[in-house]
Chains A and B, each alone.
Chain A
Amino acid sequence: MADAVIVVALLLVAGCATAAVATRDPMRQALVLSLLGVVLAVLFTVLQAPDAGLSQLAVGSALTPLLLMLTVRKVKRRAQGKERER
Chain B
Amino acid sequence: MRAVMDVLPYLVAAWVFLAGCYGLATSRNLIHAVGCLSVCQVGTYVLLLSVGYRDGATAPVFSDVKPGSRPVVDPVVQALTLTDVVVGATVTALLLALVIQVAKRHGTLDPDELSELRG
Contacts and interface: CB of A to CB of B under 8 A. Distances in A.
Most buried by A among B29, B46, B56, B85: B85
3 shortest interchain CB distances as A-B pairs: A21-B23, A26-B31, A17-B16
Interface size class of B (residues with CB under 8 A): 35 or more
Interface string A1-32: 01100110011011001101110111001100
Interface of A: 2-3, 6-7, 10-11, 13-14, 17-18, 20-22, 24-26, 29-30, 33, 36, 40, 43-44, 47-52, 54-56, 58-59, 63-64, 67-68, 71-72, 74-75, 78-79, 82
Interface of B is mostly: helix
Interface of B: 5, 8-9, 12, 15-16, 19-20, 22-23, 27-29, 31-32, 34-36, 38-39, 42-43, 45-46, 49-50, 52-53, 55-59, 61, 72-73, 78-79, 81-82, 85-86, 88-89, 92-93, 96, 99-100, 103-104, 107, 109
A3 B93 CA distance: 36
Contacts of A6: 9
Interface of A is mostly: helix
17 contacts: A13-B12, A17-B42, A21-B19, A22-B23, A24-B27, A29-B31, A47-B49, A47-B53, A48-B53, A49-B49, A50-B61, A51-B61, A51-B82, A52-B85, A55-B85, A67-B92, A78-B103
